[in-house]
Amino acid sequence: MNYGVLIGLAVVVILIVSFLANAIKVVREYQRLVVFRLGRVLGTKGPGLVLLIPFVDRAVLVDLREFYLEIPHQTAITEDNASISIDFIVFNKVMDPQMSVLAVGNFAGAAQNIAATTLRSVVGDMSLDDVLAKRENMNEVLRVKLDEVTERWGVKVTNVEIREIIPPPTVQEAMTRQMSAERTRRAVVTEAEGAKQAAVTVAEGNKAAAVLNAEGQKQAAILNAEGDRQAAILRAEGFSLALDKINEVANVVATNTMSLQYLDALKQIGSSPSSKIVVPMELAGLAAGVVALAEQLPGNGKAASSDG
C-alpha cells in the first residue's frame, strides 16, 4: 500500500514538473517566442518570463542575432561566355520573428537556392574582367537582390562577401603571364628610375663640385688681387719714402753746392781791385755758416786753442 502511494506521488510530481516546464518559458534578450494556440498564431512574446497553457499553446523560438550562410562554389557564365566558379557568404538577421516562422519553412535552404540563382543572374550581366575587378560592386548587387527576396520572409540580408572567384584554366594561365610581364615591366621601370636618380645625383654632385671649384677660384683670385694691391701699396710707400729721402739728400747737396759757389764768389771778390763791395744778405749768412763750419773742424780747433 505504501509503495502504491509513493508511486502515485511520484507520477503527480512528474506531471506537475512537466506542466510547469511547458507552462513557464524564460526568453533571453536576443530571442523571441512565436506562440500558437490551437494552431492560431497569438503573436510574439519575450524577452523575459512567458506563461503558456500546456498542451494548448505551442511556442516556436526565434533567434534575433545575425547569422551567416555559406554558399558553396557555384558555376556561372559571364556575359562574354567565360565559365567561372564563385563562393560567397550571406549575412542575415531576423527582423520580423512572426513572418520568419509563417512565411518560410526552411530559411537556410531557401536562401541558398535564391543566392545561387541570383548569383548566376548577376554574373550573366557582367564581363569576366568586371567580375574579377569589381568584386565590391558584385557584393552590393547581390545583397540588394537577395534582400528584395528575403524581405517578405521577415529576414534582412545585411551583407554579402565573395570569398573566392576561380576563372577558367586558360584565363588563369593568361593572368599568370600578364602578372609576370607586369612584374618584369615594373622591374625595368624601377631599374630605369634608379639609373635616372643615380645620373641626377652624379650630375648634381658634379655641379656642386664645379660651383665649389669656381667659388674657390674666385676666392683665390680675390686673395691674389688683394695681395697684389697690398704689395703695390707697400711698393708705392717704399718709393715715396725713397723719394722723400732722395729729396732730403738733394736739398742738403744743393745747400752745400750753393755754399761752395758762394765761397768761390768770395774768392773772386777778394781778388777784385774795387774799393766798394756789395755783399748780399745770403752771402753774409753763408759766411757765418762757413765760419761755424770751420770752427767745427778738428784742425782749426787746435789752432785756435794754440793761438789763445
Distances (CA, A) of 246 to 55, 256, 258: 151, 15, 18
128 near 80, Cβ under 8 Å?
Answer: yes
So what's the pLDDT on residue 288? 61
Name the stretches of the chain with pLDDT < 70: 1-2, 249-308
pLDDT in tens, 24-77: 899 999 999 999 999 999 999 989 999 998 888 999 999 999 999 999 999 999
pLDDT in tens, 79-110: 988 889 999 999 999 999 999 999 998 888 99
Q: What gap in Å lies between CA 24 and CA 57, rounded to an integer?
A: 11
Please give the model's pTM, rounded to 2 decimal places: 0.55
In DSSP terms, 152 is beta-bridged to none
Q: What gap in Å lies between CA 293 and CA 308, rounded to an integer?
A: 19
So what's the pLDDT on residue 64? 95
Q: Which residues contact 32 (CB under 8 A, 6 or more apart)?
A: 44, 45, 46, 47, 61, 62, 64, 97
